[in-house]
Amino acid sequence: MEEIIHQELESQEYFINMGPQHPSTHGVLRLVLSLDGEIIRKVEPHIGFIHRSIEKMCEHDSYQQIVHLTDRMDYLSCHINNEAVCLAVEMGLQLEVPDRVKVIRTIIGELTRLSSHQLWWGVMGMDLGAITSFLYGFRDREMITDIFEETCGARLTMNYNVPGGLMFDIHPNFQRRTKEFITHFKKKLPEYDALLTNNVIFRERTVGIGILSKEDAISYGVTGPAARASGFSCDVREHHPYSYYPKVQFKEVLRTEGDCFARYQCRIDEMWESLSIIEQLIDNIPEGPYKAPTKAVIKLPKGEFYQRVETARGEFGVYIISEGQKNPYRLKFRSPGFSNLSALDHMARGSKIADLVAIMSTLDLVIPDIDR
Amino acid sequence: MKALYDFSILTQSIHMWLSDRYTPAAVTIIEMVLVGVAFMILFAILGLVLVYAERKVSAVIQQRMGPTRVGKWGTAQTLADVIKLVLKEPIINKEADKFLFNLAPFIIMIAAFMAIAALPFAKGLQALDFDIGILYVIAVSSLGVIGILLAGWSSNNKYSLIGAMRSGAQIISYELSVALSLLTIVVLTGSLQLSTIIESQADGWWIFKGHIPAWIAFLIFLIASTAETNRGPFDLAEAESELTAGFHTEYSGLKFAFFFLAEFANMFIVCAIGATVFLGGWMPFHIGHWEGFNAVMDFIPPIIWFLVKVSFMIFLMMWFRWTFPRLRIDQLLTLEWKYLLPINLFNILLMALVALMGWHF
C-alpha cells in the first residue's frame, strides 16, 4: 500500500519551463525542469531556437568568408574562434606565418579571454542576486573593447584574423593602452574578490554545489575551466600549443573540488594567468609583416584538417574536409558549450532551483555556440 | 524644552476649531478623512523619494550616474515612471482568478496603511497611539503576506506560486525574530506603547543604554526586518534570476506599481519602528552634561530627527541589497531557525538579567 502511495506521489512532478525567455538562461535556451517542491528531479535542455546552420553555410563559402561566420558562434571569444579557422587553413596550406602575427594573435586572444571572463563574472554575480558585480565587470571590460575598437574597428565581432595573418597592423596606441589596462585591472581584480569571492553568502551558495567528478567531466566531454575545476587537465594551450603559446610561461589552473566555487575560482585565477601572458608579450612584439602573402582564392589541398584551440569556454575544434576546391567539402565545429551543457542534468539533479542558476552560470554557456 | 515643537498643540487646535462648528460625529468623520488624506499624500511622497533614493544609492555603489535626464538631477524620473505605469494596459492572465488577482495588491497596500498609522513621527504627530503599539504594528505588517500569497496563487503561473510559497515561509519565520528583538527592548521599557517607549529614551537611546543585548537585538532586527520586507539579500520571493519576477510576474501597470510602492512603504515602516525602538524615535541626540550641545540638538525639530534616523536605517538596507548575493531558501530558513531564533531567546534572558540587576543606564 505504502509503495503505491509512494509511486503516486513520485509521479506527480511539477514541470516548469525555464526559458526560452528567462533572465538566467542568457539566451534562448529552454530547460524543462521536473520539480519536487524546490528540488530538481530532472533537467531537459531543449536547444535549436537559434540554429542558423552555420556548418552548412560554410560549405558554400570561401575560407576567408568562413572566418566571419565563426564570430557569430561564441561571440565572447570571437577572436579565438577566428584563429582556429585561420590556423586550420594555414595548416592545410603549410603556410608559416610571421612571428609578429603569432604574438599579436596571442595577445588579443588573451584579451578576449579576459573580457569574456569579466562578463561571466558580472553575470555570475547577477544570477546569484548581487547586481553590482554586473556593473563592475562591464566597467573593466569596456577598456578591452575600447582597445579592440581602436585596433580593428569592431568591439565584439572583430574578424581581425584572416588566413595567413591579420587584417591590418596594430594601432600605434595598442601597446600603451594595453599596458594601461593591465595596471588598471591588476588593481581591480582584488576588488572582485572583495565583492564576491570572500562574501559569506556567496560561499554558501557555491561551495559544494553542482559537483562534477573528474571521471564524469571526461565522459561528458566537458572542457575548459569547468573541467579543470574537476582536476581534468585539458588546456589546449598547454597540451597542443599553437600560435605563440609554446614560448610563453603560464601555468594551467587546476582544482580538484569540481563544485561551483572551484569553477568560479578557476576562472578568476585564469584572469591572473592571462594578465601575466599579456605582460610577457606586450613589450616583445617582433617587427615584421603582419600577414604572410596568400593568394586571393585559397584552395586547400585534398585531405582532412583538424585544429583545436582553447577558447574562454573550453576546447574549440575545426574539422575541415577539403576536395581541393575553394570551399570545403564538409566542415564541422566542435564547440565547448554543447558538451558542457550535456553535463547540466547530471550536475543539477537533487539540488534546488537556485542552485541550477548557479551551476548554469559556472558552466558559462553561450547559446549561439551551442546551436550554431 | 520639548514643548518647542509639540505637534499636539496644532492637532488640538484643529480639533477645537472643528468642534466649534460641527457635531461630534461629523468632527470624527472629518478628522478621519483628513488623516486618511494625509497618509495617502505621505505614501505618494514616500514612493517618489525612496525610489529616487534607491536609484541614486545603487548608482553610487555601482559607479554609475543614475537618472539624470528627467528634471533637475533626474528628480522627476520617478514621476515619469508613475505616469508610464498608470497609462499601461492592465493585462490579466486568461486563466487567472480575477477577483483574487485584483484584490491582492490592495491587501498589501491596506496592510502597509494600517501599520503606518501607528508610527510616531514627532511628539503629538501620531494617528493611533495604542497601549499595545508595537504588537499592533507587528501584527498588521505581517498581514501583507496574505496579499503576496493571493497574488501568487491567483496568477495561475508556476513561477508566481513558487515565489509566493517562498515568501510565505520566509515572512512567517522572520516575524518571530522581528518581534523577539523588539521585545528585548520592551523588557527595559515595560510598555508596548510607542509614545512611552520614546519618552523613556529622553536621557539616552536604548541602543546606548541597553549594553550588549541591545546591540545584538538591533543587529537581529536589521537582518530580520530586511527579510520581512522581501528585500535583497532575502528577495527570494521575486528572485529575478530564478523566478523571473516571483509573485508579481503576471502583474502590470498600476497593480504592479502597488506592489512596488508597498515594498518601499514596508521598508519605511520597519525602519521607522527600528528607529523608534532602538534609536530614540524623534528624540534628539544628547551627550551627558554638555548643556550647550544638547540645547543646539533640541533646536532641530523632532520630525527631522525622526526622518534622519529612518533614512540612516533605509540606507543600511539599500547598502545590503546592492552588495550581497541572494540566499537560497533552505539557507534562509536555517539562518532563522538555527541561528537568529536561539540567539534571540538567549538575548532576551540576558536583557532580563540586565534589567533585573539594573546594569543599564
3-state SS track over A248-285: CCCCCCCCCCCCHHHHHHHHHHHHHHHHHHHHHHHCCC
B240/A38 CB distance under 8 A:
no
Strand pairing partners for A305? Answer: A320
In a domain? residue B142: yes
Specify the pLDDT at position B249. 81
Residues of A in contact with B64 (CB under 8 A): 135
Do A89 and A160 touch, CB atoms closer than 8 A?
Answer: no
Q: Which among B307, B2, B308, B347 is positioned nearest to B188, based on CA atoms? A: B347
For the question of whether the overall pTM of this predicted structure is more than 0.90, the answer is no
Mean pLDDT check: name the lowest of A298-307, B76-85, B209-218: B209-218
The C-alpha cell 576562472 sits at A267
How many angstroms away from the CA of A203 is the closest CA of chain B? 10
A108-134: pLDDT as tens digits:
999 999 999 999 998 888 888 888 888
In a domain? residue B90: yes
How many angstroms away from the CA of A71 is the closest CA of chain B? 27
Parallel, antiparallel, or unpaired for β A161-162 and A39-46? unpaired
Nearest to A201 among B58, B241, B325 (CB): B325
In a domain? residue B227: yes
∠ at Cα A251 (A248, A256), nearest 5°? 160
B328/A205 CB distance under 8 A:
yes
How many angstroms away from the CA of B29 is the closest CA of chain A? 47
B44-72: pLDDT as tens digits:
888 888 888 888 888 888 888 888 888 78
Reply yes or no on whether the pLDDT at A252 is more than 70: yes
ipTM of model: 0.77
In a domain? residue B156: yes
Reply yes or no on whether the pLDDT at A82 is more than 80: yes
A38/B162 CB distance under 8 A:
yes
In a domain? residue B1: no
Q: Is A320 helix (H, G, I), strand (E, B) or coil?
A: strand
How many angstroms away from the CA of B128 is the closest CA of chain A? 38
Reply yes or no on whether the pLDDT at A1 is more than 70: no
In a domain? residue B168: yes
C-alpha cell at B326: 541572494
Do A344 and A322 touch, CB atoms closer than 8 A?
Answer: no
Domain containing residue B69: 7-357
A289-336: pLDDT as tens digits:
888 888 888 888 888 889 889 988 888 999 999 888 888 898 889 888
B91-125: pLDDT as tens digits:
887 888 888 888 888 888 888 888 888 888 777 67
B352 CA to centre of own chain:
27
Residues of B in contact with A129 (CB under 8 A): 232-233, 235, 239, 241, 324-326
Specify the pLDDT at position A293. 83
Q: Which among B83, B100, B110, B57 is positioned nearest to B266, based on CA atoms? A: B110
Annotate B258-271 with DSSP letters as a single string: HHHHHHHHHHHHHH
Four-point Cα dihedral A102, A107, A110, A115, nearest 10: -140
Q: Is A53 exposed, middle or buried (0-12, 13-18, 19+ CB in 10 A)?
A: exposed
In a domain? residue B114: yes
The dihedral built from the CA positions of residue B215, B217, B220 and B221, taken in this order, carries a sign that is negative
Specify the pLDDT at position A32. 87
Mean pLDDT check: name the lowest of A34-38, A41-45, A162-166: A34-38
In a domain? residue B2: no
Q: How far apart are CA A105 and CA A79, in angstroms?
A: 8
Reply yes or no on whether the pLDDT at A206 is more than 80: yes
Q: How far apart are CA B325 and CA A130, in angstroms?
A: 4
Q: How far apart are CA A117 and CA A123, in angstroms?
A: 10
A132/B235 CB distance under 8 A:
no
Reply yes or no on whether the pLDDT at A268 is more than 80: yes
Amino acid at A156: L
Q: How confident is the model at residue B361 (pLDDT cuts 50, 70, 90)?
A: low
Separation in Å, CA B166 to CA A357, B111, B176? 17, 19, 16
Separation in Å, CA A125 to CA B61, B67, B204, B287, B324? 15, 23, 42, 44, 9
B240/A130 CB distance under 8 A:
no
Neighbour order of strands in the sheet with A39-46: A14-18, A30-36, A39-46
B159 to chain A: nearest residue by CA? A16
A21 to chain B: nearest residue by CA? B244
**Coarse DSSP helix, strand, coil percentages of chain A, rounded to the nearest 5 percent:** 50, 15, 35
Do A124 and A264 touch, CB atoms closer than 8 A?
Answer: yes
> How many separate domains does chain B show?
1
A131/B322 CB distance under 8 A:
yes
Tell me the mean pLDDT in the region A332-347. Answer: 89
pLDDT > 90: percent of chain B: 1
- The residues, any chain, with a CB within 8 Å of residue A352's CB and separated by 6 or more, are A38, A39, A40, B328, B329, B330
Specify the pLDDT at position B1. 42
Specify the pLDDT at position B88. 85
